[in-house]
Amino acid sequence: MDKSLAIPLTAVAGGLVALQAPINSGLGKAVGTWAAASISFLVGTAALLLIAAINHSEVKLGGAGGLSWYWFTGGLLGAAYVSTVLVSVRTLGAGGVTAATIAGQLTTAVVVDRLGILGLTQKPLSLARVVGVLLLAAGVFLIVRD
């Protein structure tokens, strides 16, 4: 995918993530935290299965047999995120949850890049990257402080 398309699409997806926490929180108030997280994943799974069917996507489950265990943790990580923000949005608000999410994502991503793990090419830890992480931390502080 070309960067000129990847960047705006990712920005739109990020905007949708900002809506996810308050939507799931409202659902959680009605049905309970764990039920809301489960419903969220069930609806998402149904949507993905529909998209795969519409696109006639080939499913190669046999290819997963030789993979290491950590390649199967994506759903678990998603469940941890959805369950956490479903509750924390009530305290932090959508802006606070989004700011903390982005800061946590970027900090972890910089470490992953530096270590070159999970199949990524190793990237050096530069002053610009460290300053970027620190600025995001400052942004989180400014957004959640009141």
What are the tens digits of pLDDT across the range 73-130?
999 999 999 999 999 999 999 999 999 999 999 999 999 999 999 999 999 999 999 9
User: How many angstroms separate the CA atoms of 12 and 58, rounded?
Assistant: 27
What are the tens digits of pLDDT across the range 12-48?
998 888 899 999 999 999 999 999 999 999 999 999 9
> Does an H or E element contain 71, and which?
none
Q: Which two tokens stand for residue 93?
A: 């608000």
Region 65-78: mean pLDDT is: 91
* Residue whose tokens read 């460290």: 130
pTM assigned to the model = 0.80
Q: Which two tokens stand for residue 23?
A: 């939507």
142 within 8 A of 135, measured Cβ to Cβ: no
